[in-house]
Amino acid sequence: MSHRSAREYLIRIAHRNMNRTFSKTSIAALLLAFIVIVVGAYVRLSDAGLGCPDWPGCYGQITAPDDFHEIQKASEVFPHSEVNSAKAWKEMFHRYLASSLGLLILAMAFLAIKNRGREGQQLYLPLALVALVIFQGMLGMWTVTLLLKPAIVTMHLVTGLLTLSLLLWTALKHHQVFSAKTEVASHIRNWSRLALVILAVQIFLGGWTSTNYVALYCPDFPTCQGQWWPQTDFPEAFTFIKEIGINYEGGTLTNEAGVTVHLMHRIGALLTFFVIGSLALVLIRSSDKTLRNIAYFISGFLCIQISLGIANVLLLLPIQIAVSHNAFAALLLLSLVTLNYRTSISTTKRISSPEEKTEKTEKNGNTLNTATTDTTAGLKTA
């Protein structure tokens, strides 16, 4: 083997190894992103979002204050904050996980740059994920420094789920999970996109409900405070720019505004159930096995998610169910992202209109009659 051939062979081996490394890193980042979202929900729902009043450390330390001397020092440095080691450790554990996710995404971007130009290697999406995770880190900082301002915390949640979705899209595209040779009807593709948009809006409403602490403003179901439509206040309920310097932990909305947010989340849940549920029923009857399997996951996650939402109200928001509600929202989102990826790479199956079908039938009939006439004439001639 010549030196040039050996060099080319080694380069191919190196690129193949980097491709495998990128593959494993993308899967690890996807799994870790899901864990970060679930742990973040647990931190928020256990009122540990301000467990560390500073950022990126915790009471001026890399770790949460634990022993007597550390707690005493933290109390001196932050006299206006009550030192709670348990809450501080919850917050720091979430930060450690989020930092690890950031490193994995940076590694993905590095591998994408090194392996750019190779067939099947993505570049722009890993780079976009780097920008997104940096912005996500800034939102995490503002969540603490702006004292759980609802707009910031909600945006932190939404961008976290966006990061999760883009990581799944990257993994699906890199591993070429689905074949591009299959056909999907255009209305299924459009319906899938609509379902994803509606779910995204519903997730925002869920985040806004949680970050404003209004999940129990309607403690009964299906009514709200014994009424089908109690007094509401939309202007205050959806005021996103609020005063800086106020501690928003526990919520600051009036009863009318809180009820408005809660009702909108319920109405959104009803719309989401009908749109996504009907889509799943259509896909289950599809001749495409892949679409049917995705539909089973969508319908299962949707039913569980609706049940968890109702249980949150009737059981007065137990933390296990509330965290599970966040987790299954993420799973439902991932299943819809998978469906949209599947439909996006497939060719569009054109469905003929009734007029076109009639015209085609008549054309086939004319062709058949012509063929029959020619055959008959040929027999007579014979």
3-class DSSP assignment, residue 58: strand
Give yes or no: 91 in active site. yes
Nearest-angstrom CA–CA distance, 224 and 124: 47
| Helices 186-211 + 3-45 axis angle, to 10 | 50
Q: Can you tell me which residue has the tokens 């929202």?
A: 329
> Which residues are registered as beta bridge partners of 61?
58
Name every residue whose Cβ is closer than 8 Å to that of residue 117 and which is 6 or more positions away in sequence: none
**Is the separation of the CB atoms in 262 and 209 below 8 Å?**
yes
Closest CA relative to residue 229, chosen from 256, 247, 250, 249: 256
CA 271 to chain centre: 18
3-class DSSP assignment, residue 197: helix
Catalytic residue among 8, 70, 91, 256, which? Answer: 91
Q: Report the 10 Å Cβ neighbour count for 278.
A: 12
**Is the separation of the CB atoms in 324 and 308 below 8 Å?**
yes
H or E, element range at 184: strand 183-185
Residues with catalytic function: 91
